[in-house]
Amino acid sequence: MNQIETAPELTEIVETGGQTTGAQWLSRYSSSLLGVFGTPQRVLVRGAGCLVWDADGKEYLDLLGGIAVNALGHAHPFVTSVISSQLATLGHVSNFFTSPTQIALAEKLLDISKAPAGSKVFFANSGTEAVEAAFKLARRNTGASADGTTDNTATPRTKIIALEGAFHGRTMGALALTAKEAYRAPFAPLPAGVVHIPFGDVDALRAAVDETTAAVFLEPIQGEAGVRPLPAGYLKAAREATSAAGALLILDEVQTGIGRTGQWLASGDAGIVPDAVTLAKGLGGGFPIGALITFGPETSSLLSAGQHGTTLAATRWRPPRLWPPCTCWRTSRS
């Protein structure tokens, strides 16, 4: 096989930023990238551990961590070695196939989440995609039977509950769950049926969850709203209310999951079993990956073949262990 040499210009950009200043890069940025993020504060060219350097050679201590993504810091030797190893072995295979590493990662996620028998995993490319899958899961919890027929005596479940202050993503289903009006208003009408209730108010939760409720979406700790943990006992109350109504309890752990709070899931000590959990961010340590875990056979059967998918879902790699948190790589060819 012919080896493809890295273009000298690209190597220079990656390693040193070249001779171009930060101001010059920002001018080129504004001319070439869609302005949805505004003007970037710095042009970063290199990272090592918890440090980054900008195009002007200035060093910074990175306390942002890619917004809860870079769980192992920048340019971690373990991560870079297994990326190279996996790509040299097998890269993308499409969802017509699977791979041992995809299966092993799914099994590991089921293990660390303490999911019961019959639980399943769906892989995506980001947190918002994991939430979109969960949104569709909620839509399937309508009260219809497995063959698609509906009990005429039952009230259809069409309501989905989220909290004030919630942030679940920016794609349309996830945006409908997100509370901030500035994010929502430009894209109305959003998918219908979502209602937002006061944060941390158990009485409001109990009043809102009824026989028309398909699902309740909760972040154990709200991030966008200012790092607000749910009050003690709230998740247990949510589990009781949703179970009584036949609704799903879906926990968004995109930001709080994979060890960020000192345990694999921030909800791990709540004494409950949810119906679904979404993961992303630290799961890949910088590699784009998301996951939806469905708990138990009943919830896992709500989405069947052809009802959801993504081209890159089968391209998931993992190391022999799930710590450090970059879980999507394998370390050797076997």
Q: Are residues 235 and 191 in the same domain?
A: yes
Q: Are residues 152 and 277 in the same domain?
A: yes
Domain count, the chain: 2
Q: Are residues 50 and 143 in the same domain?
A: no
Is residue 109 in some structural domain? yes
Is residue 322 in some structural domain? no
Is residue 80 in some structural domain? no
From 187, 183, 269, select the one nearest 225 (Cα to Cα).
183
Angle at 253 between CA 270 and CA 162, to 5 degrees: 85
Give the integer Cα–Cα distance in Å for 242 and 138.
12
28, 40 contact by CB (below 8 A): no
- pLDDT value at residue 151: 54
Q: Are residues 59 and 202 in the same domain?
A: no
Q: Are residues 53 and 166 in the same domain?
A: no
191, 172 contact by CB (below 8 A): yes
Q: Are residues 32 and 93 in the same domain?
A: no
The token duo for 309 is: 């998918």
- DSSP E strands, 164-274: 194-197, 213-218, 221-222, 228-229, 248-252
Give the integer Cα–Cα distance in Å for 12 and 20.
10
Is residue 324 in some structural domain? no
Give the integer Cα–Cα distance in Å for 102 and 161.
32
Q: Are residues 128 and 214 in the same domain?
A: yes
Is residue 333 in some structural domain? no
Q: 54, 122, 199, 281: which is the annotated catalytic residue?
A: 281
Q: Are residues 157 and 266 in the same domain?
A: yes
pLDDT along the chain (334 residues), means of 10: 50 62 96 96 96 97 94 91 88 90 94 98 96 98 63 78 98 98 97 98 98 98 95 98 98 96 95 98 91 98 93 61 39 29
Query: How many residues in the chain?
Result: 334
Is residue 197 in some structural domain? yes
The SS3 of residue 186 is: helix
Q: 123, 167, 199, 295: which is the annotated catalytic residue?
A: 167
Q: 54, 159, 252, 295: which is the annotated catalytic residue?
A: 252
Q: What CATH number is attached to the domain comprising 140? A: 3.40.640.10
- pLDDT value at residue 323: 42
114 noted as active-site residue: no
Strand partners, 285: none
Q: Are residues 140 and 221 in the same domain?
A: yes
> DSSP character for 216?
E
122 noted as active-site residue: no
The token duo for 144 is: 């219809």
SS3 content of the chain, % helix, strand, coil (to 5): 35, 15, 50
Is residue 317 in some structural domain? no
Q: Are residues 52 and 193 in the same domain?
A: no
Which domain, by its residues, includes 48?
1-63
96 noted as active-site residue: no
Q: Are residues 118 and 152 in the same domain?
A: yes
- Find where tokens 């009230």 sit: 155
Q: From its phi and psi, is residue 285 left (phi > 0), alpha (psi between -120 and 50) or beta?
A: left
Parallel, antiparallel, or unpaired: how do β-strands 248-252 and 276-279 relate?
parallel
